[in-house]
Amino acid sequence: MASESAESRREPNRFTHRELDIMSVLWRRGSGTVAEVRDVLGEDVGYTTVLKMLQILEGKNAVRHEKEGRAHRYYPLVESADAGGNALKRVMNKIFHGSAELLLATLVENREFSDEEIERMRSILDRAQEKEEDR
Amino acid sequence: MASESAESRREPNRFTHRELDIMSVLWRRGSGTVAEVRDVLGEDVGYTTVLKMLQILEGKNAVRHEKEGRAHRYYPLVESADAGGNALKRVMNKIFHGSAELLLATLVENREFSDEEIERMRSILDRAQEKEEDR
DNA sequence: TCTGTCCTACGAAGATCCTCGTTGACAACC
DNA sequence: GGTTGTCAACGAGGATCTTCGTAGGACAGA
């Protein structure tokens, strides 16, 4: 029974749990040292654990680092929009039968939005529609 | 260094990769036997693997089964909307800084939508806004 | 210099996930 | 009865993910 190789199974920019935790901090802050990332994650994640994850992420070309004093400062290489696009695609296909509408409906059902937020979301749709018409 | 127990770490209705593959089939079809699920997933997943995953999912109360002839027919217990809501929350928080707008923008950027789809998405926002005004 | 602190590096162990081989039950068909 | 096909059960093995212990370098202050 064939099983795909580890490489081909993993689609691009898909992060494991912990990896995503760490990427999330880097996306928010723009960059971070091990200690900074750990501060955000909380004390229940070991220092060396965070370090190791960052090294793993570096091995996957998801982050890079620069020397800063004695420490390393890590920068994300993968854009959050790219990772988000992939994650959304997966959620949309696996859970919402490929329907963006169903996805949106669930999104707005699970949270209250202010008029301003909804207005801005509407204009996002407007822009998408204009782009559509241009073609 | 404390590490949370396996139980508390796992938020509700979060599925692993394979689990989600299988739940996805059940959500689409409404129910399925091992053989049916496997047909959808493709031959490269072993029969006993699918069976095992269904048994694991049953242990997590994500599915239940009924006898059907000699086989078991499995039914989802977790709603796709619930799983989807959780998944979206996670993606929104970890990747899009908690911003639904950013999420929506990425969604519409990654796919072309017809006028009709956009119209329906707009009306989803309308309904959300009405609900907002009622309060 | 000695000690404590902060850092990286590395490897190995533990946890979880996924896979499948094997067994035994049952039924249909020869 | 024997053979074949379909099924659930179970357990073990491998792969992957996550954690941390330990070592060693660099630096600051006593």
Phi then psi for B33, rounded to 5 degrees?
A: -85, 170
Domain boundaries, chain B: 13-76, 80-134
Show residues of chain A in contact with B27, CB under 8 Å: 95, 97
Distance from CA of B121 to the nearest CA of A (A): 6
What is the interface pTM, i.e. ipTM, of the complex?
Answer: 0.89
Task: Specify whether domain B13-76 bears CATH 1.20.1630.10.
Answer: no
Interface of B with A in 94-113 (CB under 8 A): 94-97, 100-113
Measured between alpha carbons, how far is A96 from B58 in angstroms, rounded to an integer? 22
Q: Is the CB of B72 under 7 A from strand C?
A: no
Nearest chain A Cα to B99, which residue?
A117
Measured between alpha carbons, how far is A52 from A64 in angstroms, rounded to an integer? 13
Give chain B's length. Answer: 135
pLDDT in tens, A92-125: 999 999 999 999 999 999 999 999 999 999 999 9
pLDDT in tens, B46-104: 999 999 999 999 999 999 999 999 999 999 999 999 999 999 999 999 999 999 999 99
Hey, are the CB atoms on B95 and A20 less than 8 Å from each other? Answer: yes
The alpha-helical segments, DSSP class H, found in chain A are 6-9, 17-29, 34-41, 47-59, 80-95, 100-109, 115-134
Query: Which regions in chain A score pLDDT beneath 50?
Result: 1-9
Distances (CA, A) of A5 to A83, B44, B53: 22, 12, 20
Kindly state the percentage of chain B with pLDDT values over 70.
90
What is the mean pLDDT of the segment spanning B104-119? 95
Nucleotides of D under 7 A from a protein CB: 6-12, 15-22, 25-27
Q: Is the CB of B106 under 7 A from strand D?
A: no
